[in-house]
Amino acid sequence: MYARIAGTGSFLPKKILTNADLEKLVDTSDEWIRSRTGIEQRHIVEDGETTTDLAEHASRNAMAAAGVGPGDIDLICVGTTTPDFVFPNVGTLLQSRLGIHGCPAFSLEAACTSFMYALSVADKFVRLGESKCALVVGAETLTRIVDWKDRGTCVLFADGAGAVILQPAEEPGIIATHLHADGKYKDLLLYPDGVSSGFKLVREGKAGVQMKGNEVYKVAVNTLGQLVMETLNANHVRKDQVDWLIPHQANIRIIEAIAKRLEMPMERVIVTINTQGNTSAASVPLALDTGIRDGRIRRGQLLLLEAFGGGFTWGSALIRY
């Protein structure tokens, strides 16, 4: 038994923050942001708009695309690092919004790799016969935890959500997922505050995402390069057999480096970073849905999804769509 993608959906908040807007906030320039990251604009939440709001819209779009209703969903698995509350988890908040009762619903947290982890977990539920219709979401309001005085990070991050419906199939579907983590890199990309540390920095007004950008960049390029080769080799797939690379959208230069490693022209890479920025856990399902809805990604094609984030965590999925 395998899991196949029955439908996808996504959602971006209405409010747009341009590079010109950021020039008024910090010492930066449109030219620097475009040339160093590829970002031209990003969507950000309004006051009161939450991760669950974004997840709900994306989920409804995915359910409509798959032709399933609330009564069909028997598992909800959300990847996010920016939940509405400490608890209930975003999975159960989403469950309530969708009018679903009783099925397991949870969120898991692996920074920008959260969706890849969520997809891998849900894939196992479906393969084991424990889910016949799983809702898998990557949703994030990362701009809520950004330090708007830090030009090294505030120009990068953005908000959004993407969702997929998984159903059982005789043939893949999801051929394989590959997940990794190495906590020795914990100090390179982090938000060092939270419940059990007493929200000390939040109370002092000093909280925010911290990143040693250049060091993260180097590890990301090396690690993702190894990850995509591991994924192809483990599944006996050649580079030229992959139809679409659907990468985490952290930096256009990282995306180009991985495409080069795969000897793929950029025409076969789904890029959304220019208009969406880095939406963390939402970026891969947003890019997947973008490519499917605009007709580039077609049924039967071979997709390689990958992501990298704080922890560090990293993961991939090889999917016959």
Which C-beta is closer to ligand UT7: that of 196 or that of 214? 214
37 binds ligand UT7 (CB under 6 A): yes
213 binds ligand UT7 (CB under 6 A): yes
36 binds ligand UT7 (CB under 6 A): yes
User: How many secondary structure helices (H) and strands (E) does the chain include?
Assistant: 11, 13
Identity at 4, one-letter amino acid code: R
Output the smallest distance, CB 157 to ligand UT7, in A. Answer: 8
Q: Which stretch binds ligand UT7 (CB under 6 A): 141-149, 200-208, 215-223, 234-242?
A: 215-223
- Asked whether 63 and 88 are in contact (CB, 8 A), the reply is no
DSSP H or E run through 179: strand 174-181
Cβ neighbours, 10 Å, residue 50: 19
158 binds ligand UT7 (CB under 6 A): no
Residue from 61, 77, 112, 133 carrying the catalytic annotation: 112
Whether 154 is a known active-site residue: answer no
Output the smallest distance, CB 253 to ligand UT7, in A. Answer: 7
Identity at 34, one-letter amino acid code: R
Distance between CA 73 and CA 176 in Å, rounded? 23
Which C-beta is closer to ligand UT7: that of 25 or that of 234? 25
Whether 274 is a known active-site residue: answer no
Residue from 19, 61, 89, 278 carrying the catalytic annotation: 278
DSSP H or E run through 41: strand 41-43
- Asked whether 112 and 307 are in contact (CB, 8 A), the reply is yes
Q: What Rg, from alpha-carbon coordinates, does the chain have? A: 18
Site string for ligand UT7, 104-133 (x = CB under 6 A): --------x---------------------
Output the smallest distance, CB 221 to ligand UT7, in A. Answer: 9
Q: Which of 92, 251, 272, 276 binds ligand UT7 (CB under 6 A)?
A: 251
Distance between CA 8 and CA 162 in Å, rounded? 8
Nearest to 309 by CA among 193, 201, 157: 157
- Contact set with ligand UT7 (CB under 6 A): 28, 32-33, 36-37, 112, 151-152, 155, 213-214, 216-217, 220, 250-251, 254, 278, 308-309
